[in-house]
Amino acid sequence: MSELEGTLKALTDRIAPSGHEREVGEYIKKRAGIKCQSVTIDTLGNVICQLNTRSAGPRVAVFAHMDEIGLVVRKIEKNGFLRVVRMGGIEEKALAGRGVIVLTESGEKIRGVIGIKSHHLAKPEERYSVTRVEDIYIDIGTESYEDAVERGVRVGCPVVFARTFFRQGNKVFANALDNRGGCSVLLEVLEELDPGELHSEVFFIGSVQEEFSLRGVLPAIRSVNPDVLICLDIAPACDTPDLEGYSEVRAGLGPTMSLYTFHGRGTLAGLIPSHSLVRFVTQVAETEGIPLQRNVFYGGLTDISFAQLEFQGIPAIDLGFPVRYTHSPIEACDLGDLEFLKSLVLSLLYRIDERVLKKLKG
């Protein structure tokens, strides 16, 4: 197992639904503390890692969100079953029969399953329908309301998909690759980076509540006051039979650079990146021989959407890696894409200086 794969497994094993990112945050803090000048966790839970200090030069922030999608207990039935609502963008069709973990107030992890009507007793029309999230229930083996409460379950407890990690060839299949893959790259870049070769002041941020509101990173951005923003997140891979031809993004063909992200439902936000920053990233990738896939992400966005609007506006770009089956119980990505993304971020950080910043803001 490579270092990157080991980091990815360690991160996907940890539970961190929105607002409950402590397990991942503490892991990042421990790893980053070996190399960074300072590591702090703010009130919301953002992990802010300052690698170095420079009296001159731009301030660069590289960030990846730590949280994952999930569910929240809204009611405990008299017979001990749990009713839930969605936390983040979960597809209802992916829920029935799935293994889950309920996180109690004390931090205990209780395994369970989302119930599904027995196939033998389901009506013909029910076999081709999707059960709404309002109607699903979770079975954790408790027999009554009192039994569930005694186990530590309360209304408001978060629920995540069961932990899964396996590798087939160069592909990794796991829960929460969105965005533990980005966090893995962040940590591996941090470990390999040589502060003495930098011409900038570099910060790494593990951000919170991206899947909830996209705004959890804002206090961290305000405390760092960066001149350049680099966000690491996923891009939907369109190389499966059901998405073939939708876009050119393929798993295994390198990291992605998003030229346009927009969420046309609910939150009207996204990112049209700095044109100068797009040119800079493209030139660096070409110089280093790093394959770079151009991505347009309509229907999705990242927490850079609002971060870019801080202060007088910040040159910002979304870099990422292709992921199959996004926002489902088991996602898939290619380790080679993560390795190339790491190389790209390293190359960018070594090149960013006052001259580059002047062009980005010109």
What is the largest distance, in Å, between two alpha-carbon atoms of the chain?
Answer: 71
Going by C-beta distance under 8 Å and a sequence separation of 6 or more, which residues neighbour residue 132? 92
Q: Is 92 in the active site?
A: no
CA distance linking residue 146 with residue 80, whole number of Å: 8
Tokens at residue 154, please?
A: 């309360």
Q: Which of 210, 211, 331, 339 is catalytic?
A: 210
CA distance linking residue 247 with residue 259, whole number of Å: 13
Tokens at residue 307, please?
A: 């971060």
In the block, which residue shows the tokens 């963008």? 89
Residues forming the active site = 210
